[in-house]
Amino acid sequence: MPFFSRIFWGLLLLLLGCILIVNNVYGLDLPVWGIFWPLIIIVLGFSLLFPHRTHWHDWQHQAHDEGTVLFDDQPLHGSSDRREYNVIFGRSVVDLRKMKIGEKDLAVEVSAIFGTAKILVDEDVPLRVKASTVLGGMRLPDGQAPGLGDHYYDNKKEGPALCLKVNVVFGEAEVVTAKKA
């Protein structure tokens, strides 16, 4: 079985299983088969649009270059030209301690989808966090471990801030303040 085919069917079955669990446990009336078939069509369309990406290594390499860890355990380092970082079915330490904040607030978004992200932020920088969790775990610098929904953190330091938006879906994220490396 080709590697892409294994990944496709594995992800599809995983997604279908999650939908069935949410449907049964939470009593939601989700049209499981109405979601399943469109997903197959979307993935087939995606594979037709990007046929040159047949090797899994190519996907991982391109994703990591774009600030995404996909099915891997890799660190991501903050840079002034990238404002979005994603951890999907993987694990990463997202180090934002060297990000330069100018005269205005700097907005950065980190998402953990079926993955784990540990986000390192310089402890001397003004920090505002908006954390959104859906069936996932989140820990903020003050020790809060908010559950479902939106939660906010502000270290109350003056000046232009790092405005961090953290999205967690079926995953985990932790925002840690530390000395600049």
Q: Sketch the domain layout of the chain as residue ranges.
A: 3-54, 69-178
Say whether pTM exceeds 0.85: no
What are the tens digits of pLDDT across the range 71-122?
788 899 888 778 889 998 889 999 999 888 888 999 999 999 889 999 999 9
**Which residue, 154, 153, 162, is CA-closest to 120?**
162
Instruction: Name the token pair of 119.
Output: 């986000």
**Bridge partners for 134 per DSSP:** 169
